[in-house]
Amino acid sequence: MQHIFKEGTDHKLPTLLLLHGTGGNERDLLPIADMIAPNASVLGVRGNVLENGMPRFFRRLAEGVFDEEDLIFRTNELNEFISDMADQYQFNRNNVVAIGYSNGANIAASLMYHYNRALKGAILLHAMVPRRGIQIPDLSETSIFIGAGTNDPIIPPAETKELADALKLAKADVTEHWGDAGHQLTREEIIKAKEWFEKNYTK
């Protein structure tokens, strides 16, 4: 997968896995990572699927309707890619925290729905329910920050609530932040995500 790796100065911090939204690339979330944890290593990845020329992490049949078979395939592909990159760049595979926005948040959620050790934690910004009707693995070792907008036209609040509830049921430690916002990222939610990151990984 196309990617960028930047080694951080503090190797005890988790490596941040950056997963962009539809039409983005491996560099999109670098400024967000820099705000959240400037000393952490980062692995920015570009989705392998193109929709009208726009990179995504998995195919969809319509807006909000996912191609489940492709989602499963791409989730496995990304999980293996992270392991390969951990070998290549010598970071701890068991200490990876995803920062995903929109489509990137959805594949980060999918990683956790399928594998209980894919991610140590995740910052899911404007995320949806990746799949329904499957048993989510035990996520008692996983901490998750969910940032959402109460007026998001793409992601109904009820859907983000459903995601949070499913992750809690799987025993994940879930922190929710609801802003008076739409689908765009807000400075406020990044500040909250930074506080969450520092509480969980630097103290």
Dihedral sign for Cα 82, 106, 26, 50, please: positive
The answer to whether 64 contacts ligand MLT (rule: CB under 6 A) is: yes
Q: Which of residues 103 and 175 has its CB atom nearest to ligand MLT in the complex?
A: 103
The answer to whether 22 contacts ligand MLT (rule: CB under 6 A) is: yes
Give the one residue of 102, 142, 143, 160 binding ligand MLT; rule: CB under 6 A. 102
Q: Which of residues 41 and 102 has its CB atom nearest to ligand MLT in the complex?
A: 102
83 flagged as catalytic? no
Residue nearest to ligand MLT (CB): 103
Chain CA centroid to CA 156, Å: 18
152 flagged as catalytic? yes
Give the one residue of 11, 60, 93, 131 binding ligand MLT; rule: CB under 6 A. 60
**Strand-strand pairing, 49-51 and 54-56:** antiparallel
Cα separation, 92 vs 199, whole angstroms: 20
102 flagged as catalytic? yes
Question: Least Å distance between CB 29 and ligand MLT?
Answer: 14
Burial class (CB in 10 A: 0-12, 13-18, 19+), 151: exposed
Q: Which two tokens stand for residue 199?
A: 């509480």
Give whole-number Cα distances, 1 to 29, 42, 79, in Å: 16, 15, 11
Give the one residue of 8, 16, 17, 21 binding ligand MLT; rule: CB under 6 A. 21
Strand, helix or coil at 145? Answer: strand
The answer to whether 110 contacts ligand MLT (rule: CB under 6 A) is: no
Could you list the active site residues? 102, 152, 183
Residues of this chain that interact with ligand MLT (CB under 6 A) are 21-22, 60, 63-64, 102-103, 106, 128, 154
